[in-house]
Homo-oligomer: A and B are copies of this chain.
Amino acid sequence: MTITRADCVALDADDPLRHLRDEFVLPEGTIYLVGNSLGAPPKAASAALTRVVQEEWAGRLVGGWNAAGWFDLPETTGDRIAPLIGAGPGQVVVGDTTSIAVVKAVSAALRLRPGRRVIVSDLENFPTDRYMVQGLVKGLGDYEIRDVRGSEGLAGALDDDVACVLLSEVDYRTGDRHDTAEVTARVQAAGALMIWDLCHSAGAFQVDVTPADFAVGCTYKYLNGGPGAPAFVYVHPRHQNATEHLLSGWHGHAAPFAFEPDYRPAEGIRRFTVSTPHVLSFAALNASLDVWERVDLAQLRAKSTALTSLFIDLVEELCAPYGLTLVTSRDPERRGSQVSFAHPDGYPVMRALIDRGVHGDFRAPDVLRFGFAPLYIRFTDAYDAAVTLAEVLEKEHWREERYRQRLTVT
């Protein structure tokens, strides 16, 4: 083999981020390449939750809304996520779910382009982004969805009817990354607004959200906020006071505690909150953001591309005879922090692999996904994963009956 395990040990020893792995709980004997689906728990998460329950909830009771800063969590947590996506203070709020965030962004975008009736939606978007837009359009009437496939499909889709375009910076299945600057410029040149889904970007690399009009994203993947951690929404400052979104709840009201009968939107990013933040879910996320404060994002990206390139090279070398096809772009610039391979028996292959301690996941119809969360995945992990995958394929472990029975895949 061109690259040896000893090389990978050396790469790990030289990794400037290597100490960050100690901040996470990772089970012995598991190579966890599913951080692109659910990030590993920060060691500090458990204590953070205990503190919020015992000191804030039990200690302050309802007074926690002010004294413990609960009321402001959507904004204070948003300001902590902002640098990870290239945004400034007052441009990001956290709360609800990505699906709800899509409704906020799209409904706010539509109001900014009143004459235009088309929403462009990518067939490759994560399904819930599509479903939420479909639900919105069905409710609003009078609008239509124009489906495209990838940014290439945009060329023929942009005209004077398009109000906004919703794309994912990194494709959840393929791991491919759009050239957001180029795509955003094209969309905006057509007079439309650009909404990016950053679910597979935030925490995978330094995002530059600033040219975008809106962005949404989740915090439980690379950001390690925990299962169902709250989502975020970015709104460009020029739009914040110029539009409203559909979900006009009391926390987005100009005077939430005046209990006025009619909605009056708050100024600024607070307008994009809805209602009572899920305080306990914020606690784990903020424990993770304490780790993120110490991360150099240039180092993160360098490690991420090195890891994914290494894994591609190794798998292609070791698994050449076994019918795997690289799905993800070979150009590191066009990749997130994930590598996908297709295999006609992808589902049992992945199950056999998981049984051997290498956790990736499977996406229909035939995609094996491997996420490389650069905070805690090592070069030796990439090496060992590739070797194990080759073994599974070579020895045809995946043909065993027990791997072919379909389980629910998450």
Contact = CB atoms under 8 A, between A and B. Distances in A.
A34 B60 CA distance: 12
Given A227-B65, A283-B280, A132 B97 contact: no
A115 interface: no
Interface residues of A, number: 94
B34 A62 contact: yes
A37 interface: yes
A322 interface: no
A319 to B, nearest CB: 24
A262 B32 CA distance: 31
Interface stretch (A77-85, A204-212, A245-253, A335-343): A245-253
B50 A46 contact: yes
Given A34-B61, A66-B410, 8 more contacts: A63-B410, A97-B276, A100-B247, A139-B140, A140-B141, A141-B142, A173-B259, A259-B364
Interface in A184-225: 218, 220
A171 interface: no
A45 to B, nearest CB: 5
23 contacts: A25-B58, A27-B58, A30-B61, A38-B65, A40-B58, A40-B61, A57-B226, A65-B227, A96-B96, A127-B253, A127-B256, A128-B250, A130-B263, A131-B262, A135-B248, A138-B244, A139-B140, A141-B142, A226-B279, A226-B280, A257-B409, A259-B363, A259-B364
A276 B220 contact: yes
A408 B258 CA distance: 10
Please give me the 5 A-B residue pairs with the lowest Cβ-Cβ distance, nearest first: A135-B248, A128-B250, A227-B279, A99-B249, A65-B410
Contacts of A38: 57, 61-62, 64-65
Contact of A139 (B139, B249, B276, B408): B139
A107 interface: yes
Contacts of A280: 49, 226-229, 278, 280-281, 283-284
A260 interface: yes
